[in-house]
Structure 1
Amino acid sequence: MGSAIESFLTMLAADRGAAANTLAAYRRDLEGAEELIGDIATADRQALARLGQAWSDLAPSTLARKSSALRQFFGFLMEEGWRTDDPSPALPRPVIRRPLPRLLDHAEVESLFARAEFEAEDGRANAVRMLALLELLYGSGLRASEVVSLPLAAVPRDAPFLTVMGKGGQARMVPVSTRAGQALSRWLELRPSGGKFVFPSRGKHITRIRLFQMLKELAARARLAPEKVSPHVLRHAFATHLLEGGADLRVLQTLLGHADIATTQIYTHVDSARLVALVNERHPLAQRHRAD
C-alpha cells in the first residue's frame, strides 16, 4: 500500500519536522521491505519474521534502523485506525553498543584556544574568523553545519543568544558566552561586506569540509594530534565539560538540540568512564599495584 507509506512520510514531515534526508532514508527502508515481502501495510508476523531472516547478514546498526522504521510505520497505522494489531514484535531487536565519542581534555582545549588567540592578536581577518568559529563550536556546542550556515540575522545586537536552525528545521535559542560574543563582534567588524551569512565564502558560506580542514591545521600548529580535533569533537567537549561542571541533562539536551534525551545520555556514560579512569589512576591501591 504505497499510499500508506506516503501518508506516513507526510506525517513525519508535518508533525516531527523530519528533514529531506531523513524522509528519503525512511522511504528506502520501507520500500525495500516491500520488495522482500510485498505490501507491508498488511504484513503479518510471519511475513516480518521472514523479513528478519532476509536481513540477517546486515550490520546491527543497519538492522536496528530498518526495524525502527517499520515499528514506527506500524504504530502510525494503528493510530490512524488502519490496523488493529501490531506485528512489529516479530522484527529483530539487535543490541547496539553506541561508541563513546572522542574527547579533548581541558588542557588540550586550552592549547587549542591559546594558539587561536595568539594568532588573532594582530587582527588578521582569517585568524579572527578562526577564533570566532572555535568559540562557537566549543563555547556554544553548535554543529558544524549550524556554524558555517549561521545567517547574520541570527546574531542579535543586544542579547547573548543566537537563533540556530538545527536538524529537521527545528529552531532553538543558543546562549553565547561573553568571550564568544567578543570574538564574534571582532569578526563581524572585519567580515567582508555583502552576503547573508556570518562566515561568507564565494557568494555563500564556508563549507563543513573547509571548517574541518581549518581545525586540523590549527591543531597541528597547537601541537595537538590533528586526528583528535574536529567540529564534532569540540561539540562533544562542550557537552562533557558542562556535565562535569554540574549541568542538568535536560538543559544539555536543549543546548545541543537533541530531539531525544537518549541521545544526550551518552554523555553520562562518558562521565562515568572518566570517573573509572580516575579511580584506576589515582586510587592508592592502583598506585600500589603499579609499584608491585
Structure 2
Amino acid sequence: MWKRRKARVLTRERLSDYEFFLREQEKAGNTVKKYMQSLASLRSHLAGAPITKAALIEWKEELVREYAPASVNAMIAAVNSFLNFMEWTDCRIQPLKIQRAIFRREEKELTRSEYARLVKTAEKMGKERLALVLQTITSTGIRVSELQFITMEAVRCGRAVVRCKGKSREVFLPKKLCRCLDAYMREQNRRSGLVFVTKSGKKLDRSNIWREMKSLCEEAGVSEEKVFPHNLRHLFARTYYSLEKDLSRLADILGHTNVATTRIYTAESGTIHRAQLERMGMIIT
C-alpha cells in the first residue's frame, strides 16, 4: 500500500529497488542496463517533478524528436515495466505504432562474399582469434555475448550449452569449426576453459570485438555500416532460412521466444525481391 500512498516521484531508492527486482527476475545484464538508462532519461526529464500521465506523454514526444521509433518503444517498455512494478499502471503510455519493414536496407546487409573478405583480411593481418570469432558466430548463429559458452569441452563434444535471458539451449558446432578451434587452442598451449579470451585470460568484451571488426573494413573493402557482431547472426539466419525455410526451427536455434523476431532476421533485401519479380515473367506485352 505504501507504493500507492507516497508521491509518485522517481527517487534513487525506488530505482534501486526496481533494479534489484530486475536482477531477481534474472534479466540479462544488458537488459537491466538499458532499462535503468531509460529510467535515468525520464528522471532527468522530470527534474524532481512527480510522474503523471501528462508528463510521460511529454517525455515520449521529446524522445520522438531525438530517437528512432524502435529506440523510443524500447524506452517506453522499460518505463511501463517500472510503472507495473510500482503499481502505477494508470500512468502507462502507449508505444509508437511501427509497420514492420518488409525489406532489409541494402546498405546495412552484410553479404556472404563481404563476410569472406572480412575473415581473409583478419587472417592476413595476423588476427587469428578475430577470424575465428567471426566464423564461430556466423556458423552457429550465437550472440556475441554467448561466445563465453564456447569452451574447449564444447569443442570436443561438438556442441555447447548456451544460457541467455533465463533460457538454456544447445548449440551445435560444425565439425570444421571444431577442428579450427582445436588447432587454435593447441597453438595457445591451452586444453581447457574458454576458447576466446584476452591476453590476461578473461572473456572477450563485446566492445573489443566490435572495435577489432571495424579495423578490418578498409582493408576488406566493406562498409563500416555493415560490420558489427549482430550482423553476422543475421547472415547466419538468412543463410539457414534460404536452405531450410523452417522459421520455427530457426527461432529455436537462435534462442528466440517469438517467431516474429526471427522473421526480422530473415527479411530479404530489395535487390533480391526485385530479382524475384523479374524471374516471375508476368509481363506479357
Q: TM-score, normalised by structure 1?
A: 0.68
Q: In the aligned structure 1, how far is the partner of 2:244 from the partner of 2:20? A: 40
* Change in 2 beyond 3 A, CA 1:223/1:164: same
* Change in 2 beyond 3 A, CA 1:70/1:240: same
Amino acid at match of 2:61: S
Q: Secondary structure of the residue that 1:266 maps to in structure 2? A: helix
Q: Report the equivalent of 2:252.
A: 254
Q: 2:159 aligns with which of 149, 158, 161?
A: 161
Q: 2:74 aligns with which of 52, 65, 68?
A: 65
**Count of residues in correspondence between the two structures:** 264
Residues 216 and 227, structure 1, Cα contact 8 Å, conserved in 2: no
Q: 1:234 aligns with which of 232, 235, 242?
A: 232
1:187-216 per-position Cα deviation (integer Å, ceiling 9, x unaligned): 111124499532233313454444335445
Q: Report the equivalent of 1:25.
A: 37
Q: Which protein has greater RCO, CA pairs closer than 8 Å, 6+ apart?
A: 2
Q: Secondary structure of the residue that 2:154 maps to in structure 1? A: coil
Amino acid at match of 2:90: P
* Change in 2 beyond 3 A, CA 1:184/1:71: same
* Change in 2 beyond 3 A, CA 1:254/1:13: farther
Q: Report the equivalent of 2:142.
A: 142
Q: 2:111 aligns with which of 100, 105, 114?
A: 105
| RMSD across aligned positions (CA) | 4.0
| 1:36-185 mapped onto 2 (5 Å cutoff) | 37-38=49-50, 40=51, 47-59=52-64, 60-76=69-85, 86-88=89-91, 91-96=93-98, 100=104, 102-112=108-118, 115=120, 119=123, 126=126, 128-147=128-147, 149-150=148-149, 152=151, 155-156=153-154, 158-166=156-164, 168=165, 171-185=168-182
Unaligned stretches of 5+ in structure 1? 41-46
* Change in 2 beyond 3 A, CA 1:52/1:199: same
Q: Secondary structure of the residue that 2:63 maps to in structure 1? A: coil
Amino acid at match of 2:142: L
How many Å apart are 1:184 and its aligned residue? 1.1
Q: Secondary structure of the residue that 1:56 maps to in structure 2? A: helix
Q: In the aligned structure 2, how far is the partner of 1:17 from the partner of 1:54? A: 25
Unaligned stretches of 5+ in structure 2? 4-10
Identity fraction in percent: 23
1:161-207 per-position Cα deviation (integer Å, ceiling 9, x unaligned): 123344x4655432111221121111111124499532233313454
1:96-143 per-position Cα deviation (integer Å, ceiling 9, x unaligned): 467747323334445555x379x59xxx9x565344223212101223
Q: TM-score, normalised by structure 2?
A: 0.70
Q: Secondary structure of the residue that 2:268 maps to in structure 1? A: helix
* Change in 2 beyond 3 A, CA 1:96/1:181: same
How many Å apart are 1:219 and its aligned residue? 5.6
